[in-house]
Amino acid sequence: MTRRELLFDGNEKQVYATDDDKLVIFRFKDEITAYNNVKRAKLKDKGIITNAVSSLLFEYLKDRGVDTHFVERIGEREQLCRKICIIPLELIVRNRVAGTEAMRLGLPEGSEPASVILNLRYNNDTLGDPLINDTEACALGIATPADLKVVYSTGLRINTLLKDLFARAGIILADFKLEFGRASDGSIIVSDEISPDTSRLWDAQTLEKLDKDRFRLDLGDVADSYKKVYERLKAAVK
Ligand code: TYD
């Protein structure tokens, strides 16, 4: 597959056109950002690890019937994906309460809610990805009630599958973020990535953080923790 012009240059990823107008190439960079891009750094080979983790997880989901944009990993930093029309929503799926959600709800960091929490965010950097509810998403013309049903049910299904996989890897899937897009046939599919950059992952024994919180909170060993996640997942999918 030939890589053509750069379509999108994001903070941590680039998207390139290909010679097939239904397919794009995602390229994972070594940059890492947090707090709406206020905090930035470059970590050697981070893009290689996030591509490896995200490819493994999307393969795992594909094998279990979840429709995603992922086609195949085609290089250390690159994956071939279906071209989609972006839906500017983020679905946050939480098995444990952490970060600003813990403060917002007045709960201790790490507490386990009685059921899974789903938060919808409006994917808008200028506004800082604010929380949005269903009526707002529909009123802004971002999604229909039927679309949101698909978004929520897909999020829960993915959570069930990934929670189990991570548990076998000795990792608690505390939370993760999903993005969605509309495929050429109009169906809603999962897009973007799932990796330690877009989730909270805690060692099941020690509760050590193995995700981007290590960067947000200056805990060090960011890339090494990401590598640990990949090695454990690789062993768990076998
Ligand atoms: P978020 O809702 O932003 O913050 P908090 O949990 O502190 O209230 O984050 C929840 C999870 O989603 C966390 O693992 C980070 C991830 N996330 C992203 O990867 N990208 C994003 O743009 C957002 C908003 C969240």
pLDDT digits (tens, 9 = 90+) for 76-99: 999 999 999 999 999 999 999 999
Q: Confirm or reject: Cβ of 99 under 6 Å from ligand 1.
A: yes
For the stretch 191-217, pLDDT in tens is 999 999 999 999 999 999 999 999 999
Cα-to-centroid distance, 179 and ligand 1 (Å): 12
Atom of ligand 1 nearest to the CA of 211: 14
Instruction: Determine contact, residues 221/195, Cβ cutoff 8 Å.
Output: no
By most ligand atoms within 8 Å of CB, the mutation choice from 198, 215, 229 for ligand 1 is 198
Q: Is 98 in the pocket of ligand 1 (CB under 6 A)?
A: yes
Q: What is the pLDDT of residues 93-134, one digit of tens each?
A: 999 999 999 999 999 999 999 999 999 999 999 999 999 999
Average the pLDDT over 22-51 and give the result. 97
pLDDT of res. 1: 81
- The reported pLDDT for the residue numbered 121 is 98
Mean pLDDT for the stretch of residues 44-56: 98
Q: How confident is the model at residue 236 (pLDDT cuts 50, 70, 90)?
A: very high
**3-17: average pLDDT:** 97
For residue 198 and ligand 1, the question of a CB distance below 6 A is answered with yes
User: What is the C-alpha separation between 165 and 170, in angstroms, rounded?
Assistant: 9
> Ligand 1 centroid vs 17 CA: distance in angstroms?
28
pLDDT reading at 238 higher than 90: no
**C-beta 175 within 6 A of ligand 1:** yes
91 lines ligand 1 (CB under 6 A): no
| Separation of CA 5 and ligand 1 centre (Å) | 30
| Paired residues of 14 in beta bridges | 9, 27
The 10s digit of each residue's pLDDT in 148-182 is 999 999 999 999 999 999 999 999 999 999 999 99
Share of the chain above pLDDT 90, in %: 98
Mean pLDDT of 11-22: 97
Reduced to 3 states, what is the DSSP secondary structure of residue 220?
Answer: coil
- Mean pLDDT for 224-230 is 98
Any ligand 1 atom below 6 A from CB of 92: yes
Q: Which atom of ligand 1 is nearest to 177's Cα?
A: 12
Measured from the Cβ of residue 103, the count of other Cβ atoms closer than 10 Å reads 11
Burial 178-217 (b: 16+ CB within 10 A, else e): bbbbbbeeeebbbbbbbbbbbbbbbbeeeeebbbbbbbee
The per-residue pLDDT for 182 is 97
Is-contact 212 196, C-beta < 8 A?
yes
